[in-house]
Every structure is written in C-alpha cells, then in structure tokens.
Amino acid sequence: MKILGPDLLVFGVDHVPACCEFLIEYGLTPVGVTDQGGRFEAMDGTGVLILSSDDPSLPPALSSGNTIRETIYGVQDAQTLEAVGRELSKDREVRRAADGSLHCTDDLGFAIAFQVTVRKPYAAAATLTNAPGSPPQRGPNQVAVDPDAQIRPRTLSHVVFFVPDAARMEAFYHRLGFRVTDRFTGTGAFMRPEGNADHHALFFIQTPPFMQGCEHFAFHLGGPSDVIQAGSRLVAKGYQSYWGPGRHIFGSNWFWYFNSPMGVHVEYDADMDLHDDAWTPREATIGADASQLFLMQHREKWSPGGPPPA
Amino acid sequence: MSAGTVLCRFDELVDGEARGFDPQKGGQDTLFGVRRGSRLYLYRDLCPHATSPMAWRKDEYLNRRRDRIVCFAHGAQFEIETGRCLLGPCIGQSLQAVAHAIDDRGNVRLV
Ligand code: FES
C-alpha cells in the first residue's frame, strides 16, 4: 500500500492566534487563515491545520489534553485509497467524507484519515558543499551564506506519538504497509510507509496512558545550515528551544526542537537517511548517547578574539 | 541562585501575566512568576515531566484565559497558586516554588 506519509496534522488548540503566529514564524505559509485558524503549508502542500479546541468539525479530543486531533495520511492514488479502506473496514467503521477522504481511528483511538495525497512536485535547491578531496559543488565566487535567506519548510517529514502500547501501534501500521527501520528497545519503532524512503514518517514512544498524544512533528528543510539558521532566528525572537541543534544517529537527520503554543514540540529537520527493503533494522536503548551524534547548544553572539572594541 | 538577588520591581509585573527571569544571566530563563493582585507565584522554569523549560516564547507561560500555567513542551497544565499539575504528562506532580519576598523598596528578592 503506497502511503506516502502524513499530509496534514490537525490540532484543536486553546490559543489560535498564538499558534498561527508561531507557525508563520516557523516558516509555513498560511492558506485561508482567519482568526478561527486555518491551514499552514510547506512547499509541497503538506501542512498543519489549526482550529479552536471547541470547533465542532474536529474529531474528539484525547483525554490527556494533548491537542492533536487527526493525522491525515496522503496515499499515492485512488486505488491505494480503496485498498486502505478495504483493509480498515475489516474491523472498524470507516467514514467517507464529502471530499473522498476516509476517516477512522487507529487501534489506540487516535483519529486518522487517508486521502489521495496533496503532495505536489516542487523544486528547491540543495545545500551545496565544497569538500576537499571531492569535486567542489560551488565554483569560484559562489557564496554559500545569505544572512537574509528565506528558509521555508519543504515537506512534512514525520510525526511522533506518546502511546500506551507501542507494540500495538507498530502492528497496526504494519497492516498498512509501514516498515520498521530502527527501534529503541522498550520505547518504540521508527516506521516508514511503503511509498516513502525517508527513515521515518512515524515514531512511537511508550508512555503511561495519561500522556497519549503527539510529542512532536517535523518538516524537512533544505540542509543542516537551514536548520541552524532558521532555529537561530526563532531563538533571536524569544522562542524556546527544547533540544538542538544537533544530529540524530537513527535517521541521521539534523534536528532542532522548539516548544510551541500547540503544547507539542515542533522540529526542524534536514538530510534524513533513505531506506528500502534491503535494510536491516537496528536496535538501541534510548538516551542521549543513542539518539544524538552531537548537540550544539545555542549561545549568544560570539566571535573569536572577543567582541569588537566599543 | 543566591539569596538576596533582585529579580525586578514588583510594580513592573503586569497583573494576571507571567514573566520569566534569568538571575544567573545564562541566556535562558530559569525562573518564572505569575502576578495575581498583590501576590507573586514564583517557580523554577523546569517542568517536572522532562525537566524542560516551559514557555513557548519569552514570558509565555500561561493559557489564553490566563488561569493555568502550561508547559508548552507537551501541554501539561498547572494550577497557578499551587503549581500542581492538573492535566498532562506530569499529572499529580508539582512545579518547584521559589522562596522570595518583596522588600521595603518594592523589589522582588530571592530569599
Ligand atoms: S516537559 Fe513539560 S509537559 Fe513534557
């Protein structure tokens, strides 16, 4: 089943204007956003939908208070959508919305939906590097750093959930064609859907039931420099860094996590590994040693030799 | 945090709002307070769930109605007066209150 990954994450929040402000600063593009909320899109059309927690169009809230209300997955085509519908109709009610999307709940009660993907083709430059020993990627006079660069999230990368039964989640998404790429022992699995080579579109963290919800989501940026530049801009504006910048081991992606007014972490990531079915999943025990290759904590402006004379 | 450190003047604090403090000048607020009338509720900026700083942006520690403290890492909600977590990942646990006093010049001081 060629599921490509999450197309849209739906949140029901306490403070709609704060969430809208945050997501715009994060770099997403507001589409039809009003003071009631609306959609925030990356370059390929994937995104986040913000609505007030009492909006009647939302699926019910989780009892944990977590603000995630629905994860809408994009699938490759109409045949895949029907195949997903047939599979899930075996043991649960699947509702078809007016726009053709299919809605139900997964085995732990998270609202999920499937639609023919909104992901559209787009072109965006790669970060070019000059590495001695290899042909240069940037020729003479091609300057890499632009302090005013516009940095836009390119595509919705992954979503991570606190779950009371990680094994059950893994088994459920396995039914939909997701593969385990790596695993933290006793915590949960990283999974990628069949239609996406990215190391993970989903990761589960085993927790007590009262914590169930979204832990974080991430959009891919163009490269590590983008992650650090965009994250530094958030820090300079007073946003609260949680973890980063750094580089993960599983997935190899660069990361920087921030607190958000949705009450979930929001991550920038870049340069994630790709996998296919020839890959053998690794296993490790979670902890800073296993989850980060290195961590660079932000500090105030500094230059070698100290500040310039006043 | 040394006793006697002055955080701010009490009358700089906006009634009903929160404010973060960085008494060690480390570039990260480590304390925050919420003023309610003539009282200040002062806590360490350290969520009991994952020992994380809690605001989503400088000084943003409260929900929209300004009647709960929220950890914007994973949404835990706390009672302002007691620091007790009422909902979320650290339900039943509490924020660490920080002893302070308002001196005769109107300064908020750590004690
Ligand atoms: S760190 Fe505060 S709710 Fe998780």
CATH of the domain at A40: 3.10.180.10
CA proximity to B36, closest of B82, B3, B4, B92: B82
**Residue B11: domain span:** 6-110
Assign residue B44 the CATH number of its domain: 2.102.10.10
Residues of chain B by 3-state class (helix, strand, coil), percent to 5: 5, 35, 60
Substitution target in B57, B87, B93 with the highest count of A β-carbons within 10 Å is B57
Does residue A104 lie in a domain region? yes
Q: pLDDT value at position A286?
A: 79
Question: Count of CB atoms within 10 A of residue B32's CB?
Answer: 25
Q: Are strands A111-116 and A102-105 parallel, antiparallel or unpaired?
A: antiparallel
Q: What is the DSSP letter of B56?
A: S
Instruction: Please report the pLDDT score of residue B80 as a whole number.
Output: 98
Q: Classify residue A200: in a domain, yes or no.
A: yes
> What is the ipTM for the molecules in this complex?
0.97
Instruction: Classify residue B53: in a domain, yes or no.
Output: yes
**pLDDT score recorded for residue A294:** 73
CB contact under 8 A, B52 and A210: no
Which pLDDT score is estimated for B3?
85
Global pTM reads 0.95
Tell me which residue of A183, A43, A298 sits closest to B27, measured CA to CA. Answer: A298
Residue B46 counted as domain residue = yes
Answer yes or no: is the C-beta of B71 below 6 A from any ligand 1 atom. yes
Residue A137 lies in a domain: no
Report which secondary-structure segment, H or E, holds B97.
none
Q: For residue A40, what are the contacts with CB-CB under 8 A and spacing of at least 6?
A: A20, A23, A24, A28, A29, A30, A31, A33, A47, A48, A49, A50
User: pLDDT 10s per residue in chain A (310 long)?
Assistant: 899 999 999 999 999 999 999 999 999 999 999 999 999 999 999 999 999 999 999 999 999 999 999 999 999 999 999 999 999 999 999 999 999 999 999 999 999 999 999 999 999 999 999 999 999 999 999 999 999 999 999 999 999 999 999 999 999 999 999 999 999 999 999 999 999 999 999 999 999 999 999 999 999 999 999 999 999 999 999 999 999 999 999 999 999 999 999 999 999 999 999 999 999 999 998 776 677 777 776 655 555 555 555 4
Residue A101: CA count within 13 A, CB half-sphere:
18
Q: Are A106 and A39 in contact (CB under 8 A)?
A: no
What total number of domains does chain B contain?
Answer: 1
Supply the residue whose CA is at minimum distance from atom 4 of ligand 1.
B74
Substitution site in B32, B46, B52 for ligand 1 pocket (most atoms within 8 Å of beta carbon): B52
On chain A, the residues whose CB falls within 8 A of the CB of B53 are 240, 242, 259
Residue B14 inside a domain? The answer is yes
Taking a C-beta distance cutoff of 8 angstroms, is the pair A243, A257 a contact? Answer: yes
Query: What is the domain range of residue A91?
Result: 3-120+153-295
pLDDT tens, B19-69? 999 999 888 999 999 999 999 999 999 999 998 999 999 999 999 999 999
Amino acid A288: pLDDT: 66
Per-residue pLDDT reduced to its tens digit, B62-100:
999 999 999 999 999 999 999 999 999 999 999 999 999
Structural domain contains residue A229: yes
Which pair of tokens denotes residue B45? Answer: 């900026």
Which own/partner contact pairs does B15-21 have at CB distance under 8 Å and 24+ positions apart?
Answer: B16/B66, B17/B59, B17/B62, B17/B66, B18/B55, B18/B59, B18/B60, B18/B61, B18/B62, B18/B69, B19/B59, B20/B45, B20/B55, B20/B58, B20/B59, B20/B61
Number of helical H runs and strand E runs in chain A: 5, 18
Q: Considering its fold, how many domains does chain A have in total? A: 1
Residue A57 lies in a domain: yes
Is A270 domain-assigned?
A: yes
Structure tokens belonging to residue A201: 């579109």
Taking the centre of ligand 1 as the mean of its atom positions, its distance from the CA of residue A196, in whole angstroms, is 31
Residue A293's pLDDT is what?
73
Q: Is residue A12 part of a domain?
A: yes
In a domain, B62, yes or no: yes
**Is B48 inside any structural domain?**
yes
- Are A69 and A59 spatial neighbours (Cβ–Cβ below 8 Å)? yes
Residue count of chain B, please give it.
Answer: 111
Distance separating alpha carbons of residues A215 and A204, to the nearest angstrom: 9
Residue carrying structure tokens 């589960």: A204
Please report the pLDDT score of residue B86 as a whole number.
97
Domain-located, residue B20: yes
Question: Domain for residue A199, yes or no?
Answer: yes
Q: Which of B27, B57, B70 sits opposite A263 (nearest CB)?
A: B70
Q: Distance, CA A94 to ligand 1 centroid (Å)?
A: 34
Binary contact (B74, A238; C-beta < 8 A): no
Chain position carrying tokens 């989850």: A291
d(CA B25, CA B97): 20
pLDDT at A299 (0 to 100): 56
* Residue B52 located in a structural domain: yes
Q: Is residue B84 part of a domain?
A: yes
Is some CB atom of chain B closer than 8 A to the CB atom of A237? Answer: yes
Query: In whole angstroms, what is the distance from residue A203 CA to residue A221 CA?
Result: 19
